[in-house]
Copies of this chain bind each other. A is one copy, B any other.
């Protein structure tokens, strides 16, 4: 038999990626276009492709190729990194027995069905036992995958490779110690003007404004498109076909605007990945946390900043004079940054958002440790909301039933949202220090140098660096919550007159 070559490896990876990307097209089409009766066969078609991709990736012969190349000295740095990351995925994948995969998939699909029913009835009771089974299977999974320090590490690694529970604990200790107090100080101040956000903003004009926003960010419409869907998302079939969706609520202008900027940030990352590494780890994003850093940087650090709106507010006022003619820019800026404790994670402001994540992380961690059971989880949830956000949860749908993640079997995912925001600030600070006059450029509506900086420092590397190494390389230090805290204090002290 001939010795396997790097080309063999690439060929198989690209075949698998083609199948995965075909699945992504079917998934995009499902959210954007699918006629109602088409759902049954579509689910089946996606599942067939998933099975094929799985078979290809789990093939022992492919494992032999990976192992041979990994021990071989003929590869360059980048090739070695591709092979070793793929081998890590391959080995993880191999740990799952067919029995476990089948049991897990049954538990999760029953859990998801129960969650849907529980939401319909607004009653956690219907979800309690199935959720308990999901937690049990995820605990089993973490044992199967193995870990050194904490069972949560094994699950966290799926979404945020190489991240450690202990570091997240440290990070969220800061959130608890510093951010909770700061939010309380804000709450004691008079609320900023924000009534204009809820006025009537006609669909077509919002849509046009959203397209302008994306173009201005540098999103390449020859390598993507925007459509409508119930829940905004970004998906990609190659760096040259990266699609975003948005939703338009005529009574909530902010919904469309910042979902465009947020998804646009994700999309710029995908459009900036190296095309010649298509199908390989170096052609992929680092982690969910780093991905989220790209969306949050644009959404919050740029898209909710005063310089950004100095560039765009006129156009917005001209599109909606009846709502905005009487609103000065500074009031607009304050209004779109309104901070207030709330019940739902997806509707949270950029400060309270992290309390929502913190609560979920603490719960997940304790569930994995076995120090918390699902029995009274609704009560535990409500208690935490009272403690960190000072709000009373009126019912389960607005409380513990609000997220789909656990019902989908995703435990270990939530922290990546906060990591994203924290990385975003740290990266953006570095960009400001590297690019003289960046905020003046943004104030002129010119984001080109910022995008070039992101391309150069983050996008083009794909998965060459881990999140931690990337952060170190780009900013000269590890992820450090102080950056976020300082950003929050400066920004919101001005907005709330602290």
Min CB–CB distance A6 → chain B (angstroms): 19
Interface membership of A137, Cβ < 8 A: no
Interface membership of A29, Cβ < 8 A: yes
Min CB–CB distance A226 → chain B (angstroms): 11
Closest to A45 in B: B18
Q: Is the CB of B225 within 8 A of A52?
A: no
**Residues in B neighbouring A35, C-beta threshold 8 A:** 221-225, 240-241
Interface membership of A115, Cβ < 8 A: no
Min CB–CB distance A48 → chain B (angstroms): 4
Interface membership of A488, Cβ < 8 A: no
**Residues in B neighbouring A36, C-beta threshold 8 A:** 222
**Residues in B neighbouring A237, C-beta threshold 8 A:** 38, 41-42, 45
Min CB–CB distance A253 → chain B (angstroms): 27
| Interface residues in A18-59 (C-beta closer than 8 Å to B) | 18-19, 21-23, 25-26, 29, 33-38, 40-42, 44-45, 48-49, 52
Interface membership of A199, Cβ < 8 A: no
Residue-wise interface mask of A (264-276) relative to B, using a CB-CB cutoff of 8 A (1 in contact, 0 not): 0000000000000
Interface membership of A220, Cβ < 8 A: yes
- CA–CA, A237 to B239, complex, Å? 26
Min CB–CB distance A442 → chain B (angstroms): 26
- CA–CA, A33 to B22, complex, Å? 14
Q: Is the CB of B238 within 8 A of A19?
A: no
Closest to A21 in B: B45
Min CB–CB distance A82 → chain B (angstroms): 18
Q: Is the CB of A18 within 8 A of B48?
A: yes
Interface membership of A278, Cβ < 8 A: yes
Q: Is the CB of B223 within 8 A of A37?
A: yes
- CA–CA, A223 to B34, complex, Å? 9
Residue-wise interface mask of A (226-266) relative to B, using a CB-CB cutoff of 8 A (1 in contact, 0 not): 00000000000110110000000000000000000000000
Q: Is the CB of B25 within 8 A of A241?
A: no
A41 CB contact (under 8 Å) in B19, B21, B33, B225:
B21
Q: Is the CB of A240 within 8 A of B37?
A: yes
Interface membership of A15, Cβ < 8 A: yes
- CA–CA, A464 to B14, complex, Å? 40
**Residues in B neighbouring A222, C-beta threshold 8 A:** 35-37
- CA–CA, A153 to B145, complex, Å? 60
Min CB–CB distance A264 → chain B (angstroms): 15
**Residues in B neighbouring A41, C-beta threshold 8 A:** 21, 237-238, 240-241, 278
- CA–CA, A277 to B223, complex, Å? 39
- CA–CA, A498 to B15, complex, Å? 63
- CA–CA, A22 to B14, complex, Å? 17
A241 CB contact (under 8 Å) in B14, B34, B278:
B34
Closest to A40 in B: B240
Q: Is the CB of A37 within 8 A of B225?
A: no
- CA–CA, A418 to B131, complex, Å? 61
**Residues in B neighbouring A34, C-beta threshold 8 A:** 241
Closest to A16 in B: B48
Q: Is the CB of A52 within 8 A of B19?
A: yes
- CA–CA, A33 to B243, complex, Å? 10
Q: Is the CB of B45 within 8 A of A22?
A: yes
- CA–CA, A224 to B240, complex, Å? 28
**Residues in B neighbouring A49, C-beta threshold 8 A:** 18-19, 22
Q: Is the CB of B37 within 8 A of A220?
A: yes
**Residues in B neighbouring A221, C-beta threshold 8 A:** 35
Given contacts A41-B237, A240-B38, contact A33 B220 (CB under 8 A): no
**Residues in B neighbouring A14, C-beta threshold 8 A:** 44, 48
Min CB–CB distance A73 → chain B (angstroms): 31
Closest to A28 in B: B29
Min CB–CB distance A473 → chain B (angstroms): 29
- CA–CA, A223 to B19, complex, Å? 25
Q: Which A residues form the contact surface with B (CB < 8 A)?
A: 14-15, 18-19, 21-23, 25-26, 29, 33-38, 40-42, 44-45, 48-49, 52, 220-225, 237-238, 240-241, 278
* Between-chain CB contacts (< 8 Å), 29 pairs: A14-B44, A15-B48, A18-B44, A18-B48, A19-B49, A22-B22, A22-B23, A22-B25, A22-B49, A25-B25, A25-B45, A29-B29, A34-B241, A35-B223, A35-B241, A37-B220, A37-B223, A37-B240, A38-B223, A38-B237, A38-B238, A38-B240, A38-B241, A40-B238, A40-B240, A41-B238, A41-B278, A42-B241, A45-B237
For the complex of A and B, list the 8 residue pairs with the smallest distance between their C-beta atoms, beginning with the closest.
A38-B241, A41-B238, A18-B48, A37-B240, A37-B223, A18-B45, A36-B222, A37-B222
Beyond A22-B25, A22-B45, A38-B237, 10 additional contacts (C-beta under 8 Å) are A15-B48, A18-B49, A21-B41, A25-B29, A29-B29, A34-B241, A35-B221, A35-B225, A35-B241, A42-B241
